[in-house]
Amino acid sequence: GDGPADLRVDGLQVRYGRAVTALDDVSLTVPAGGVVALLGSNGAGKTTLLRAVSGTLRLYRGGVTAGTVTYGDRSLDGTDPVAAVRAGVVQVPEGRRVFGGMTVDENLRAGGLGRVRRDADGGNAAARERVYGLFPRLAERTGQRAGLLSGGEQQMLAIGRALMAWPRLLLLDEPSLGLAPLMVERIAEVVREIHAQGTSVLLVEQNAAMALALADHAYVLEVGRVGLSGPAEELSRSDEVGRLYLGEG
Ligand code: ATP
């Protein structure tokens, strides 16, 4: 079906070459229809986990050396990005890598190339309509070169491009990075809306306040291992998370 399934990561170990073990024995679950936050400081392994799920690890010369990744009843072990998108798992990369020389609309069309669900006529008008509905700012700028958009608008476009493939699970890598508070709030609203439309979300953030406000459940990665985890509400009240990630005393 088109609905979301459970993502299960079990005992995952990931290495880059022989020297770097980026993840060691990491287990986590994103329940169907849930929003899960993955927190942690620089280099903790957050991006690496997303890469392992979205099948992009090999592009960075990384490899899974132990553990499993499953989405519903499908194994994502050793998967590649095309197969992951077919399974409904789509990553929005960190740093909003949009195609700067292409227009907003061309970026969206490119995002729809690997999609599973098509309109009756084989096109992608329904997906574009959805994206422009979520992001009216992009609808006002369909013909503008993406490189000329503001940082926040580029983040919107990066998310919109991922949505063109109709993900069942959206992997977001630091969508708030470098954005002004108002724009962060706008992005948070859109993530809520995407979730309300029936998509699971795995949200990697250094902005713990934003992530914990959005998520049901959260995990904290500490140099490649899961430290704390629990209901987001509980973690946001924990002294350790407050001190380390929310800038409290
Ligand atoms: P950040 O917020 O800085 O992106 P992160 O929590 O996402 O941090 P990762 O980017 O997953 O962390 O990095 C985890 C570890 O793996 C770090 O020690 C990093 O230097 C290393 N690493 C990441 N990518 C590669 C690579 N392509 N080759 C070698 N080492 C890498």
Q: How far away, in angstroms, is 219 Cα from ligand 1 center?
A: 17
Reported ipTM: the value is 0.95
What mean pLDDT, rounded, does the chain reach?
Answer: 91
What residue type is assigned to position 32 of the chain?
A: A
Whole-model pTM: value is 0.93
Residue 32 CB-half CA count within 13 A: 11
Q: How far away, in angstroms, is 47 Cα from ligand 1 center?
A: 7
Digit-coded pLDDT (tens) for 150-204: 999 999 999 999 999 999 999 999 999 989 999 999 999 999 999 999 999 999 9
Which DSSP helix (H) or strand (E) runs through 244?
helix 239-245
Q: How far away, in angstroms, is 17 Cα from ligand 1 center?
A: 12
Q: Give the C-alpha separation, 225 to 86, whole Å.
A: 29
- Give φ, ψ of 124 to 5 degrees: -135, 30
Lowest mean pLDDT among 17-31, 72-86, 209-223, 229-243: 229-243
Digit-coded pLDDT (tens) for 62-83: 999 999 999 999 999 989 999 9
Ligand 1 pocket at CB < 6 A: 16, 20, 22, 40, 42-48, 60-62
